[in-house]
Amino acid sequence: MKKLGLFFPLIALVLVSCLSVRHQSIYPLPGGYSYFVPRTLDDGLATGSIEGTLFDADRMLKLNAFFAKLKQGVFGEIHSVLMVHKGVLVLEEYFPGFRFKGGKTDFTASDLHHLASVTKSITSLCVGIALDKGYIKSIDQPFLDFYPGVPMPDREKKQDITIRHLLTMTAGMEWDESTYPYTDLRNDVVQFYISRDPLRFLLDRKAVAPPGSRWIYSGAYPNLLGDIVHRSSGYTLDKFAAEFLYKPLGITAYSWITLNKGFIYASGDAELRPRDMAKIGQLVLNGGVWNGRSVISRKWLELSMQAAAQANPRNMYGFMWWLPILPGSAAESLGPLYMASGWGDQYIVIVPKLDLVLVITGGNYESTAAGTVPILNYMLDTLFLPH
């Protein structure tokens, strides 16, 4: 079986992380671990049992060997795992760990969690809503339309860069956040983050490739998009998200980093509760509808989840959503997957064929958990692929 990269072990993790002792046990397993039904809270998420969903008794028992691996730290530091199946939250577990740039805590359903680059996918949703509302005319509108008369290097070369190019990270502007770690001042993200004038820092990036010719992972593009949402709508990105995305979903607790000169950091470090991350995943799975209300157009989501560029051998890239490339047997069984992904193991994974949304949050900022490939192969063989 071919290796499928990092995201499938995360799926495996979601399915096996049932270590809670908070609720009545409905599925005790050998070794002292049990599955517990998620609590019903006043947040708009329906809850129910995992029984009768994707797992029969045999498959539940096969998961048992992984509980010990999770406790042993095979997956590194994981803070929460959630699974929504057919619109119902059927698995929700939280674990102790260290907050981002903070101390150790016992994470709970009420805790905000650092999203890292999952924020980019949320920014993309905000762009779609701005387009739906007519604030932005078209994804093929030149981004310079929003900066008339603003001086910047290579302005002539940038005149063909569109909103679409920013969304797909193919705008061709210089940026390097891969040569050095995010703890190094030479990383462009770090330089942008501490810049006295964040917008000027972005606009000063030179054009180094024709728009559409090359994919480069760049924090510049979501931040330009966030500023364009602000310029076109009059709402700063955090307030736009609060009014037009979070409010319809009943999301009442959130935060967003503000840089110098009031610039909203659109590429990372927004915070949400994991249950609210699950709502965003379910919104996408529902085609933009939440509780009967259209929040974002289905057309936008369909465009967002189309492959626009190949990011690496394992992933295509849409409008700031990752589209994992699966080998033949997995592709046939699972169909397409859509993923919002962030540093440290923050994930929203959407599996339309299984009517499934998975959420993971973690604290693996400095290293990647080892030992994932054997777990990946086992989970695929026993839980996902036909036998």
Among 48-52, 257-261, 360-364, the range with the most confident prediction by mean pLDDT is 257-261
Is residue 274 within 8 A of residue 262, CB to CB? The reply is no
Residue-level pLDDT at 12: 40
Alpha-carbon distances, residue 254 vs 15, 268, 365, 374 (angstroms)? 27, 13, 21, 37
| End-to-end Cα separation, the chain, in angstroms | 13
Name the more confident of 138 and 96: 138
For the chain, what is the HEC assignment? CCCCCCHHHHHHHHHHCCCCCCCCEEEEECCCEEEECCCCCCCCCEECCCECCCECHHHHHHCHHHHHHHHCCCCCCEEEEEEEECCEEEEEEECEEECCCCCEEECCCCCCEECCCHHHHHHHHHHHHHHHCCCCCCCCCEHHHHCCCCCCCCCCCCCCCEHHHHHCCCCCECCCCCCCCCCCCCCHHHHHHHCCCHHHHHHCCCECCCCCCCCCCCCHHHHHHHHHHHHHHCCCHHHHHHHHHHHHHCCCCCECCECHHHCECCCCCCEECHHHHHHHHHHHHCCCEECCEECCCHHHHHHHCCCCEEEECCEEECCCCEEECCCHHHHHHHCCCEEEEECECEEEEEEHHHCEEEEEEECECCCCCCCHHHHHHHHHHHHHCCC
317: amino acid identity, one letter: Y
pLDDT tens-digit profile of 114-163? 999 999 999 999 999 999 999 999 999 999 999 999 999 999 999 999 99
Residue-level pLDDT at 320: 98
Residue carrying structure tokens 């996918």: 121
Q: Long-range CB contacts (< 8 A, 24+ apart) of 129-133?
A: 129/240, 129/244, 129/245, 129/295, 129/296, 130/228, 130/229, 130/232, 130/233, 130/240, 131/300, 132/296, 132/297, 132/300, 133/233, 133/244
46: amino acid identity, one letter: A
Residue-level pLDDT at 358: 86
Return phi, psi of residue 356, to 5°.
-135, 140
Nearest Cα to Cα of residue 45 among 81, 87, 3:
87
Is residue 110 within 8 A of residue 275, CB to CB? The reply is no
- pLDDT at residue 180 greater than cutoff 80: yes
Average pLDDT over residues 293-306: 97
- Record the pTM: 0.89
Residue-level pLDDT at 335: 82
Decide the pairing of beta strands 88-94 and 46-47: parallel
Is residue 140 within 8 A of residue 194, CB to CB? The reply is no
Residue-level pLDDT at 385: 55
> Picking from 42-56, 247-261, 360-374, which range would have the lowest pLDDT averaged per residue?
360-374
Q: Which residues are registered as beta bridge partners of 359?
A: 82, 348
